[in-house]
């Protein structure tokens, strides 16, 4: 009997009777946001990485709602595609918690993102690997925003390395760059994947240019901002 009541309560808790992706055309992933410590939110901020694409958006409720809540991410891209979503749950403008989930998207899917208050808050404008003070993919570098929200800078091809008393960075794979040549961070030089670096004689890179959109790795040629 108690199990039946729990089932009923779960249905009551779900509340709505529609799919947040229902009205959208094309491929759509349902994002179901849960929490063990956060009761209600009135908006969600999503940082979405999909293949080489990236975007950030906020979706809002008319009134605060109890978790779990659901939204959708409609994608106009070629499938299959890797989808990673960082979610910040907000109430009255304050971030209550963040979480991350990822999947390989071949069609419609549901991602469950558990948001919790961060244990240790990241320093705004610092860069962090996912899981190091910010919610996210461990092999992706993020920039810390206001109130602990993480914004993806890009995936690290050779891994994301956590720095001690310094920013985390995409690992370049060792000192094998050509002196004087420009590279995206993480491509033969350590750094931010959306910044161009000039290779130094000691194998390290110095910042050359911050890319507005993205940094493109060009095999056999200098990398470039796009």
Partner 1 sequence: MWVRTIVVVLVALVGRAGADDLRTAQQHLDAGVALYGAGNFADARVELAAAQVLAPDKPNPYRWLALVDVRLGDCASALVHIESFAARVAADDARLGELVRLRDQCRSIGHIRVVSSPTGATVRVDQRATPMMTPADLALSVGSHVIVVGKPGFESVTQTVEAHAAGVDEAMFTLPVAAVAEPHHRWWLWTTIGVGVVAIAAGTTYALTRGRDDPRLPPIACDATGCR
The residue written with tokens 């209600």 in the block is 40
With the C-alpha atoms ordered 147, 157, 161, 177, is the resulting torsion angle positive or negative?
Answer: negative
CA dist 218 → 183, 203, 223, 224 (Å)? 9, 19, 5, 7
* Binding of partner 1 by 174 (CB under 8 A): yes
Considering the complex, what minimum distance in angstroms separates the CB of residue 200 from partner 1?
Answer: 10
In the Cβ-directed half-sphere of 4, how many Cα atoms lie within 13 Å? 1
Which residues within the stretch 93-132 sit at the binding site for partner 1 (CB under 8 A)?
116-120
* Binding of partner 1 by 7 (CB under 8 A): no
Considering the complex, what minimum distance in angstroms separates the CB of residue 141 from partner 1?
Answer: 14
CA dist 95 → 44, 99, 202 (Å)? 9, 11, 42
**Distance between alpha carbon 12 and the CA centroid of its chain, in Å?**
31
Pick from 59, 103, 147, 224: which binds partner 1 (CB under 8 A)?
A: 59
d(CA 123, CA 146): 9
Pick from 92, 93, 94, 202: which binds partner 1 (CB under 8 A)?
A: 202
Pick from 3, 63, 146, 201: which binds partner 1 (CB under 8 A)?
A: 63
Pick from 74, 112, 123, 210: which binds partner 1 (CB under 8 A)?
A: 74
The span of 2-10, 122-130, 191-199, 218-226 binding partner 1 (CB under 8 A) equals 2-10
Considering the complex, what minimum distance in angstroms separates the CB of residue 146 from partner 1?
Answer: 17
Size of the site for partner 1 (CB under 8 A): 62
Q: Which two tokens stand for residue 119?
A: 């244990």
Three-state secondary structure call for residue 81: strand
Question: Nearest 5°: phi and psi at 147?
Answer: 60, 25
* H helix or E strand, kind and range, residue 6: helix 2-14
Considering the complex, what minimum distance in angstroms separates the CB of residue 24 from partner 1?
Answer: 5
Examine residue 178 and say whether the peptide bond preceding it is cis (omega within 30 degrees of 0): no
Give contact residues for partner 1 (rule: CB under 8 A).
Answer: 1-2, 5, 8-9, 12, 14-16, 18, 20-21, 23-24, 28, 37, 43-44, 46, 48, 50, 53-57, 59-77, 116-120, 161, 163-166, 171, 174-175, 190, 202-204
């Amino acid at each position: 009997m108690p199990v039946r009541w729990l089932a009923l309560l779960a249905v009551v808790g779900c509340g709505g009777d529609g799919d947040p992706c229902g009205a959208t055309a094309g491929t759509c992933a349902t994002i179901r946001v849960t929490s063990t410590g956060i009761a209600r939110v009135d908006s969600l901020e999503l940082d979405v990485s999909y293949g080489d694409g990236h975007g950030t958006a906020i979706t809002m409720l008319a009134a605060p709602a109890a978790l779990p809540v659901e939204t959708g991410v409609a994608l106009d891209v070629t499938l299959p595609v890797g989808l990673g979503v960082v979610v910040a749950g907000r109430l009255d403008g304050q971030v209550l918690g963040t979480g991350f989930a990822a999947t390989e998207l071949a069609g419609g899917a549901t991602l469950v993102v558990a948001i919790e208050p961060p244990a240790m808050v990241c320093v705004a404008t610092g860069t962090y690997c996912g899981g190091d003070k910010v919610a996210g993919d461990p092999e992706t570098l993020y920039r810390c925003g206001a109130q602990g929200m993480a914004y993806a800078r890009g995936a690290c091809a050779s891994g994301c390395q956590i720095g001690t008393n310094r920013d985390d960075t995409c690992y370049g794979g060792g000192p094998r760059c050509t002196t004087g040549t420009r590279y995206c961070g993480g491509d033969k030089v350590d750094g931010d994947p959306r910044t161009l670096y000039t290779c130094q004689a000691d194998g390290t890179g110095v910042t050359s240019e911050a890319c507005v959109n993205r940094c493109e790795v060009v095999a056999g040629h200098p990398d470039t901002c796009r």
